[in-house]
Structure 1
Amino acid sequence: MTRARIVVDRDFTAGEVPRRLFGSFVEHMGRCVYTGIYEPGHPSADEDGFRTDVLDLVSEMGPTVIRYPGGNFVSGYRWTDGIGPVEDRPRRLDGAWHTVESNRFGLHEFMAWARKAGVEVMEAINLGTAGVEEARALVEYANHPGGTYWSDLRRKNGAEEPFDIRLWCLGNEMDGPWQIGHKTATEYGRLAQETAKAMRLVDPGLELVACGSSNSGMPTFGAWEETVLTHTYEEVDFISLHAYYQEHDGDAASFLASSVDTDHFISRVAATADAVGAKLKSKKQINLSFDEWNVWYQRGLDTEDQPHRIAEQPWREHPRVIEDTYNVTDAVVVGTLLNSLLRHGDRVQIANQAQLVNVIAPIRSEEGGPAWRQTIFHPFARTAALAKGQILQTVVSSDQHETARFGDVDTVDVASTYDAANGQVALFLANRGLDEAADVEVELRGLVADEGAVAEVLTVPEGADRLTTNGPGQEGVGLRDLEVGVQDGRVRLSLPPLSWACVQVPVREG
């Protein structure tokens, strides 16, 4: 039996839970937009062509901010192609994903969808094939009230009031040789600096994200952040991070410990940003935007929907692209990645799980057919709903197990929050062990646990295995009640092998 003891103290916190931590991502890639969020003619489609069955699942999942329209797609995208009468919009070749973009869905359609979904918009601009003038014009079009060329064009196109987009990404993965318009750190840093200045001359209240490394394994990681921030430090508010994880060669133990890598990645980028700030003698702090993260099976698959096979196919509209099907193990990993983001919520102020629908997504849909929850939907939905108030610093004493990639790691992973307004502590726990249950004891300091604690757990369904997935009409992997007790001021529960759980504990100060 694995054992873990957890201590949380009301007075030791990492700040408020950033609501933007629970973001998602919609890119013009595969079937994320077309037949994902947008499908005129679908039985559930509303007057704007939006799938209401998908909107219902988005509401249940609870994302707070959506990054749009890319991703790799944005580095070759002309935003002007997606405005004006739909019948007049041009069809373009999208080199990023070797597809034909009809532009039937553009900025106005996305803003209308975002309003219905109740989410903030995080707009990405093209710094691959475009630059300062296109970005400046887009800000004027989106945010200026009227009386100028671009703002009056927005009004002519049906949006009398400004879109008032506050959050903007200055390009996407510009360190990547695969990116259209790939640049060196110096080239990108100077372009991002001048673009940021021009955008803020139109709207001083913008929040801007500079591109960090595409992943921590890039050969330029660290040096890229230093150079880019040396140019942009006073002009931007955030530096981005991207990370994807998968199981390799049956090494489930290392895969389940992926959040160890996430913790290290975050700490290194924060340290680099702070070092640049110190060198520049700046009084401001650059925070982090983890605006792409998820489980993504990039290696080991050779199907035609994989990125390395896409260019072999004919040019098509919205083909199936990386529609990964997620299992129980993937869901537990996603739960631990959310824990890592929460633990670092003092610096990670924005995070976007990529993507929202169909493309490596928690929600899947079929053209003309149903939509359903993948296994990874559940940890996101419950964490987004319950993580409120203050992030508690957790002290964990857990039995450990060995992994090939990370050495010895804690078997039990945890994050916790305290919502003083509602008198509730929320615990988010994962048992990374494949074979043994984990007995967990939580000591609350400065808080007294009352009766009425409740817990839910996601684990391997009875009679199934860790690779069990969900499908249309078959959502066997989900949350079920888990017994939890409060005795002598301590919370006690037993986590099944390979499980993720959330616990709500009514508390009072004492």
Structure 2
Amino acid sequence: MWGSFTEHLGRSVYEGIYQPEHETADEDGFRKDVIEAVKKLKVPLIRYPGGNFVSGYNWQDGIGPKDERPVRLDLAWRSLETNQFGLHEFIKWCKKVNAAPDMAVNLGTRGIDEARNLVEYCNFPKGTYWSDLRRKNGAEEPLNIKVWSVGNEMDGDWQIGHQTAHEYCRLVHETAKAMRLVDPSVELVACCSSNHQNDTYGSWEETVLDNAYDDVDYLSLHQYYDNYEDNLSEFLGKSVDFDNFISEVTAISDAVKARKHSHKQINLAFDEWNVWYHSVGADDEQEPWTQAPHLLEDHYDFEDALLVGSLAITLLKHADRVKIGCLAQLVNVIAPIMTNTDGSPSVWYQTIFYPFMQVSNYGQGIALTPKQTVPTYQAKEYEVPYVDSIAVYNPETAEVVVFIVNKANEQTAFTLDIDSAKLGEVVAATQFTGYDIHQTNEDQSMNLQDLKDVNVVGNQVNAQLEPLSWNMIRIKAEA
């Protein structure tokens, strides 16, 4: 399930999705221009409210009359949190963008009691203190939130309430027990290591699963990539690291499963992934304890879009185990969508918007294993394919959709054999190419173009790929 992530961080919520004084604001204070942009991305699941923010957050501050909600210090991002946007606002906004919530619970400063109270508030019908308080606050029917993230990056010392693996897995076990006693249907996501390079990686996953295997449904993976070296081939090769990360966590999960003689499979929720480095350092200039400061506002360039496309293809290749893939984040903060508080355009799309928009809209159905021979190049740590590709069969639309990234700085002939579906005519073919690798899209001059040199012969797809390009081909098909 493709998804995204919004956190009380910088201008992600305030001046992003919620800005009552903006000229496009609706009756609930939500920016309608942002709603329309998010709908174009078609993200059916959105993780909230963090992120690092959640480990110091009291969800009760964001419910009830707005004029009675307290202003708090947000220690994670050293900002002022007004709590004018909280649980009910988020649920209402999710409905407007056709998304379901992935609700994160605070296991940093709070714990078992607050988690089970939140589940009762959200999901219990009526007749108890918390469920009746929800009804008093305007939600007569249960919110029926199914996916819950149990803490965030608890292995990281930067996290408020940082824990060892043993401390965390004991807390997860008891928290999951309490949450499921309130609502047995909830699906729980446990923290994995914060990234592939963290010192806890490997031992953390094994310890958590050893002690809480039966308590959770997913392991949460996070990974961000940078290009500080300004080396394009090395940067685009980081999709191999991404692929290895997923394979390794899958192997650890299956090893624990075998050792426990379990019939249950742990799936993966890659609920934070993106490029993130452009804004690092700039945020140091921000004054602390302000409302909605400009934080983590990376302006993505063309090479970032190519890597994001390769990362999305990698997620599809692991669709048998990666069941949730949330691009982090959604608006203004390391995001595909940016807003201006005044001036034009009020909303603009970053370079990474285009590949993510296409995979979230058309990367639906059954991921196919293609027969493909690809030349490679040698990066520092990995052997990297010049072409990343995946095909997806969508039985609802009767289409095979092929996603391709050409990492070569030259035109490349592409051939893909698909034996599992009978191919018909090409429905649409697009490319994102022809830009300088460091070009950004503030002026909205960058967009998808037609991919004209493509044809289907029998079960074979042939295309001529432009240098450094993201490509999508949609083909009528029968299984």
Q: Flag whether TM exceeds 0.5 (same fold).
A: yes
Equivalent position of 1:479 in the other structure: 448
What amino acid does structure 2 have at the position aligned with 1:364? Answer: M
Q: 2:393 corresponds to which residue?
A: 418
Alignment of 1:409 with 2:384, yes or no, is yes
- CA distance in 2: counterparts of 1:178 and 1:508, whole angstroms: 51
Distance 2:83 2:55 in 1: 15
Structure 1: distance between partners of 2:389 and 2:59: 42
Which residue does 2:431 correspond to in 1? Answer: 457
Query: Which deviates more from structure 2 when the two are superposed, residues 386-395 or residues 232-241?
Result: 386-395
Q: Is the 8 A contact 1:453 1:486 kept in 2?
A: no
Instruction: Summarize the alignment of residues 33-52 of structure 1 with structure 2, pairs less than 5 Å apart.
Output: 33-52=13-32
What residue is the counterpart of 2:295 in the other structure? 321
Task: Pick which of 408-417 and 395-404 moved more.
Answer: 395-404
In structure 2, runs of 5+ residues without a counterpart are none
8 Å Cα contact 1:453-1:504 kept in structure 2:
yes
The question of 1:469 aligning with 2:440 is answered yes
Residues 350 and 186 of structure 1: is their aligned pair in 2 closer, same or farther, counting only changes over 3 Å?
same
Q: 2:356 aligns with which of 376, 380, 383?
A: 380
AA paired with 2:451?
L
After TM superposition, the score normalised by the length of structure 1 is 0.91
Pairing of 1:82-161 with structure 2 (within 5 A):
82-161=62-141
Q: Which amino acid in structure 2 is aligned with residue 302 of structure 1?
A: G
Unaligned runs of 5+ in 1: 1-19
1:503 aligns with 2:453: no
Is this contact kept in 1: 2:278–2:299, CA < 8 A? no
1:236-293 residue CA offsets vs partner (Å, 9 max, x unmatched): 1001100001113111111112211111000111111111122222221111010100
Q: Any conservation in 2 of the 1:247–1:255 contact (CA below 8 Å)?
A: yes
Moved more, 312-321 or 40-49: 312-321
Give the TM-score of the pair, scaled to structure 2: 0.97
Q: Which residue of 2 aligns with 1:357?
A: 331
| Cα distance, 1:297 vs structure 2 | 0.7
Q: Which residue of structure 2 aligns with residue 172 of structure 1? A: 152
Give the secondary-structure state (helix, strand or coil) at the position aligned to 1:394: coil
CA gap of 1:488–1:146, structure 2 versus 1, over 3 A, is closer
Q: What do residues 295-328 of structure 1 show as CA deviations (whole Å, max 9, x unaligned)?
A: 10178x421x2xxx27x72310110001000111
Following superposition, the deviation at residue 488 of structure 1 comes to 5.0
**Distance change >3 Å, CA 199–CA 456, structure 1 → 2:** same
Q: Deviations over 1:397-447 (max 9, x none)?
A: 1122222232x31101011111234331110000011x2111101222243
Q: Relative contact order (C-alpha < 8 Å, sep 6+): which is higher?
A: 1
Aligned partners of 1:39, 1:371: CA distance in 2, in Å?
13
Are the equivalent residues in 2 in contact too, given 1:386–1:426 (CA < 8 A)? Answer: yes
Distance (whole Å) between structure 1 residues aligned to residue 433 and residue 468 of structure 2: 6
Which residue identity is paired with 2:263?
K
8 Å contact kept, 2:419–2:459: no
Aligned partners of 2:420, 2:79: CA distance in 1, in Å?
57
- Which residue identity does 1:339 align to in structure 2? I
1:113-141 Cα distance to aligned partner (Å, 9 max, x none): 00111101000000000000000100000
Aligned to 1:199: 179
State how 1:323-342 maps to structure 2 within 5 Å.
Answer: 323-342=297-316
1:190 lines up with 2:170 in the alignment: yes
Question: Structure 1 residues 341, 446: closer, same or farther in 2, change over 3 A?
Answer: closer
Paired amino acid for 1:487: V
* In structure 1, distance between residues paired with 2:458 and 2:393: 20
Q: Answer yes or no: is the 8 Å Cα contact 1:321–1:359 preserved in 2.
A: yes
Q: Structure 2 counterpart of 1:397, which letter? A: T
Q: 1:149 to 1:495 in 2, by over 3 A?
A: same
Structure 1 residues 63, 146: CA separation in 2 closer, same or farther (over 3 Å shift)?
same
Q: Does 1:268 align with 2:251?
A: no
Please, which of 209, 220, 227 is the counterpart of residue 229 of structure 1? 209
Q: Which residue of 1 aligns with 2:271?
A: 291
Contact 2:193–2:204, Cα closer than 8 Å, also in 1: yes
- Return the offset for 1:220: 1.3
Distance 2:395 2:114 in 1: 45
CA shift, 1:354, in A, is 0.5
Aligned-partner Cα distance in 1 for 2:396–2:72: 51
Q: Deviations over 1:364-400 (max 9, x none)?
A: 0012440111110011111111122211012321122
Instruction: Mark the CA change 1:52 to 1:227 in structure 2 (over 3 Å): closer, same or farther.
Output: same
Moved over 4 A (4+): none
- Secondary structure at the residue paired with 1:451? strand
Contact residue 289 and residue 350 of structure 1 kept, 8 A: yes
Identity of paired residues, percent? 50
1:281 and 2:261 are equivalent in the alignment: yes
* Counterpart in the other structure of 2:418: 444
Aligned residues: 476
Find the counterpart in structure 2 of residue 208 from structure 1.
Answer: 188
**1:489 & 1:353 partners in 2: Cα distance?**
33
TM-superposed CA distance for 1:215, in Å, is 0.3
RMSD of the TM alignment (CA)? 1.4
Q: Structure 2: how far apart are the matches of 1:446 and 1:95?
A: 53
1:486 Cα deviation after fit: 2.2
CA deviation vs aligned residue, 1:181-203 (integer Å, no higher than 9, x gap): 00000000000110000000000
